Every structure is written in structure tokens, then in C-alpha cells.
A = this chain, B = another copy of it.
């Protein structure tokens, strides 16, 4: 019964991802209409959203379909995500039933669920999205899980292709940034995987103690290697940015302190200078490298307003590309011609 799921970009073949990017570019040029008539996407948001909800709902509508937006714990019942539990506590509906039932109403499910626990060894298994996919009988789309945000990654790749043209061997810097909170690693990992897919020279510039999960480094390095690129990890931010073609500042929490907020916060102390400034953007290739961000962005904290509002900023194009990337994805997964 189940079609393919879109849980992580690296789980699809590189040919299939390239085909999605080609289709997204054609859609953006206005060459593709219809294809989702009478189709329903059920979105389950366990965490907030602006771009994702707006772009998914718009994507379905523009091709004749409809997106439902369910928010467990707010308008919908609080969902239980652990298997094998006696549900006599606060959760009132199990994701097993939610996934099975929504599969009867909708042609695909889309789920957002940020990491919630206190143990990275558990959260890194990405149980919630994986269990949705296990019990759903229609394709499941990841709208950001504990580990991945592949819709964002697809938009990132589309934006890099648009702005840089040929991407192989060009330098993509994933820059750790200071932020008042410990954020998840799903977006930075997915962005680096997208750059790896494009065969770029991926540089992760982060302070000691702020490494991504070893599995993420392996996924990025393997994919980059197969596509003619590479992965380098450094704590020399300015050196990384020198000559870069794209800089993607993004904050994430120290995984070694996952679930211990006070320790984690202390590990970020004194690092507010890990911020993308206009001076740093001037060091990029020809002074014309692009600045990227998934949004929402903390102005003057992760990236200066002068960069966000300046000519090198690609962040609004990147957000727009969420729409086109997801239109391609939806047509591929549940389109009437798929």
C-alpha cells in the first residue's frame, strides 16, 4: 500500500533528487500546472511553523489539492509517540492510530516533530517520524524531525543551483552561530547534505564541542565524496569563509550536553562573535558569495541586519524555493501522473 517516504534526502537516489530539482525549476518557470486534483495532504504539526505550513498549503492549492493542518495538543489530541505503553497518563491518542486513520483520509501525511527528550541516544533514532512512516499506509513527508529537514534541504539545493550555476567543487560553509537557545541539528545537517549532493566543498565551521552527530558527518562526507566534493571540519571561521561561495550561519546546541540546558548554555558562553557580519561576507569569493538561512533568523544575533537586507542575501529566494521544491515533491509522490 505504502508509496515512498521523504524522510531524508540521502535515502533517495541521487538521480531521483536531481529529478526533483529539475522538476522544481520547471515549476518555478511556470511550466507545470495541475496534477493534485482531489488529493489531500494531512499535515501534523507538533511544533510551530510559518514557512512550512504556508508553503505546503499553497503548494497543494496551486495544483488543485488541499492540505489539512492538524496541531496535536492544541486543536487536536495530544499524541503518544512511545510504542508499548499503557496510556493512562496525559496523552490521549497514539501515533499508531493517528497514522493509520489519517492514511484513510489523505493521500500523504506530513509530520513536524522537533526533538523533545533529554537523551540524544534516544532522539537520534528519529522515532516519531519513523513510526509515523511505519504505521502510515500512504507516503510520509518529513517537515522537520529530530534529525532531518529534507524539504529545507531540497530548497537549499535549488537555491545553490540557481545562484551559483555549476556547483561542483565550489565552497559551502555551514557556520555555527551563537543563539540564546539550544537549537536542533536537523537543519544544519540537512543543509550540508544538500551541498554534498551538489558536489560542493563542504566546510563545517564550528567551535570545539559543537560537532554534528558522527552519523551526520558520515552522511555528508560519503555523499560529497560520491559527487566530487569533500567535507572539512574546522574552528577557523574566517579562514573557512575566505573565498567561500555560500555561507549558511545556523545555530545548534552542543550534543554532549543534550537535555541539560544549564550545562549547554554555559558551553555557548563567550561565542556571540560567531555571527555572520558584513565584514565576513566581504571575504567570500569575489566579495559576492551568498548568505543563506532557513529562517526564522534572529536578526543581529545569527546574522546582521546589514547582511540580511544586503545584495548577497539569498534567504528570501531560499524561502520561496520551499514552495517550488515541495510542489515538485508532492507531484512526484502523489501527483496524478506519478
Interface residues of A (CB under 8 A from B): 38, 40, 42, 45, 48-51, 53-55, 57-58, 61-62, 66, 68-72, 74-77, 80, 84-89, 92-94, 96-98, 100-102, 104-106, 180, 295-301, 305, 308-309, 315-316, 319-320, 323
24 residue pairs of the A-B complex, CB under 8 angstroms, read A40-B58, A40-B62, A42-B54, A49-B75, A51-B101, A53-B76, A54-B101, A54-B102, A58-B68, A58-B106, A71-B75, A77-B296, A80-B299, A87-B301, A88-B301, A89-B180, A96-B309, A97-B297, A97-B316, A100-B316, A101-B319, A104-B316, A104-B320, A105-B323
Complex: A316 Cα to B94 Cα, angstroms: 13
Residues of B within 8 A of A100 (CB): 316, 319
Complex: A309 Cα to B297 Cα, angstroms: 44
Complex: A216 Cα to B102 Cα, angstroms: 31
Residues of B within 8 A of A180 (CB): 88-89
Quote the shortest CB–CB distance from A211 to chain B (angstroms): 24
Complex: A272 Cα to B32 Cα, angstroms: 57
Q: Are B75 and A53 in contact (CB under 8 A)?
A: yes
Quote the shortest CB–CB distance from A227 to chain B (angstroms): 29
Complex: A58 Cα to B70 Cα, angstroms: 13
Residues of B within 8 A of A94 (CB): 296-297, 299
- The chain B residue sitting closest to A293, CB to CB, is B97
Say which residue of B55, B69, B92 sits within 8 Å of A105 (CB atoms).
B55
Q: Are B66 and A50 in contact (CB under 8 A)?
A: no
Quote the shortest CB–CB distance from A31 to chain B (angstroms): 15
A105 and B48 contact, Cβ closer than 8 Å, known pairs A88-B180, A180-B88:
no
Complex: A208 Cα to B190 Cα, angstroms: 58
Residues of B within 8 A of A89 (CB): 180
Residues of B within 8 A of A315 (CB): 97
Inter-chain pairs besides A48-B77, A57-B66, 19 sampled, C-beta below 8 Å: A48-B76, A49-B75, A50-B70, A50-B72, A53-B68, A58-B68, A69-B75, A74-B74, A80-B299, A85-B300, A86-B301, A87-B300, A92-B296, A96-B308, A96-B309, A97-B316, A101-B295, A105-B320, A105-B323
